[in-house]
Amino acid sequence: MENSKACNLVWFRRDLRVEDNPALLAAANAPGVVLPIFIWCPAEEGEFQPGRHSRWWLKQSLIHLDASLASYGCSLLLQKGNDTLSVLVNIARATGSTQIFCNHLYADPITVARDRRVKQRLLEYGIFVHNFNCDTLHEPWEIYDEQGHAFTTFAGFWNRFLRTRFEPDMPDSSQARIFPYREYLDVISFAGNLPTPCSIEELCLEDESEKSSNELLARTWSPGCKHANDALQAFLVAPLNDYTTSRETTDNSTSHLSPYLHFGELSIRKLYNCIRSKQRDEEQLFCPRRNAHLFLRAIGLREYSRYISFHFPFTQEQSLLKNFPWSNDEIHFKAWKLGKTGYPLVDAAMRELWSTGWLHCKLRVVTSSFLIKFLQLPWTWGIKYFWDTLLDADLESDILGWKYVSGCLTDGHELDRVLDPHEEGCKLDSKGEYVRRWLPELSRLPNQWIHHPYSAPVSRLQAAGVELGTNYPKPIVDMEVAKYRLSQAVKSMREKNAVEQAARTEEGQDETNPRPNSRHNFPAAFCDQLVPSILTTSASHTQFSGSVTRGKHITSNLP
């Protein structure tokens, strides 16, 4: 096939935008026409298949991406299948394509291993895959400590990041020419080779039973790359100026940019450049509140979540807090999910999550801490429920957050640190407005008792129409009892850990944790993800032998 008729496939995943999309830009600047494709293959997602809210967002985002591509003379080819490789091979064969352009994903080793397998098999068919960085400011293999090892604390990672004085370039998408391909593809379709495109409805991202509930989401959220940029500009104009205070309350004045970042509708480089510009303005004006500085740190936490996912794969499958005596009380778990724990702030947050797919970052910490430390339920139950319900469900960020809360990070919460829902409620929702919004049964309680109705006099409860145990639950666990049980559980865990450590020492196995990756020891599943320039900078990079070992408040989802 002549170069003028070459077809460059652009495989969209979590990069659903035209602006600052390296894979799309490279394909558009290569000889030939561009065919943008999106493949929905839920069977390959394992246990972390997108939940209802996330699938609704994805559906709307794909519709908006198709509209954006239409302005360049293209439209998005949607495909659904059980095997991504087969779909890509069929499209490549039908179009005669020998090149596929896509951006990196670091979500989890299953995804990375899938990408590696696809890349290797496509090469056997004579199809070369070009990978680009679209989701992070730095590639995970570009930041190490002085000894060449991966950082295991956010402070160390972020300090090194800042010392790089990173100022990303912003590619001008208007310079790309995406050649109209319809005439060319019509010929292929006429020959009966090109797979039949799926309609957005045929992807089955939204069940009929979900549509009425999802209509409520559309009243609050506007997915799509254009709306992502609108949301960014709106945040820069006003909410950012109060970020240091608004993030400490439950109001809606935070950025709400995390869903746009997760689906790649908003460029992380564009966001970083905008916040850095605001930061320079603050420094010149000697602003004491340093809103941009704090928000920049939130961007850093998101970056760190990708870094940890890369260097410590399979964390989501690893047994955090080994030997901790987890409870398997499904009644308590159901009460937590439904917002019926008897602790108003926790219950209001869980009801908001179910209704809207959204939670303020501080409330994510409160609810996850309650699950782990009050109820002592397995953290894997919590992260899976968050994954099923959050609009911005993001495995890298979620893992980092749950590890932080559970005490599994050296710079996170201590395991025996318990967040008092009453104190947190008074701090985050001092006037009780948030609780009253989501728990109307408590709406008539005065501020004094709104966050701990179980302590209110019976006369106050009766006057407010509250009957504990009837129209609002009593606490499912007493706080002092929860603290005692936690202390005993931690004690038991540490005793068992000590016994195991002693046994390992006797056997000459002193190292209890896998050594973090170094610049010369990447996990094997990631090796083919590295850009060629990285692989050729040192002879040792051609001899990777690192093996994948199974096994985030840092809340790296931006609030």
Q: Binding site membership: which residues?
A: 243, 254-258, 295, 392-394
Per the CB < 8 A criterion, the answer to whether 39 and 197 are in contact is no
- What residues contact residue 195 under an 8 Å CB cut-off, 6+ apart? 79, 87, 90, 91, 94
Q: How far apart are CA 465 and CA 442, in angstroms?
A: 8
Q: Which residues are annotated as a binding site for FAD?
A: 243, 254-258, 295, 392-394
Alpha carbon distance 349, 354 (integer Å)? 9
* Residue 21 CB-half CA count within 13 A: 31
Beta bridge partners of 37: 11, 77
Output the CA torsion 338→339→341→346 (10° steps). 140
CA distance 449 to 308: 42
The two three-digit tokens of residue 257, written as one number? 């940019």
Separation between Cα atoms, residue 427 and residue 421, nearest integer Å: 10
Sign of CA dihedral 256, 106, 133, 278: positive
DSSP conformation class of 521: -
- Single-letter amino acid code for the residue at 6: A
Residue 50 corresponds to which amino acid?
A: P
Residue 551: DSSP 8-state: -
Q: Are 137 and 303 in contact (CB under 8 A)?
A: yes
CA distance 55 to 57: 5
What is the C-alpha to C-alpha distance for residues 247 and 253, in angstroms, rounded to an integer? 8
Helix axes 344-356 and 421-428, enclosed angle (nearest 10): 70
Closest to 351 in 3D by CA, of 279, 441, 265, 262: 441
Task: With H, G, I as helix, E, B as strand and everything else as coil, classify residue 39.
Answer: strand
In 3D space, the residue among 312, 264, 300 whose CA is nearest the CA of residue 137 turns out to be 300
Closest CA to 296 of 342, 255, 343, 339: 255
Q: 226 with 64: CB under 8 angstroms? A: yes
Q: Hey, what are 446's tokens? A: 């005065």
* Total residues found in the chain within this entry: 559
d(CA 390, CA 552): 15
241: which DSSP letter?
G
Whether the Cβ atoms of residue 164 and residue 300 lie closer than 8 Å to each other: no
Q: What is the DSSP letter of 78?
A: E
> What three-state secondary structure class fits 97?
coil
DSSP state of 555: -
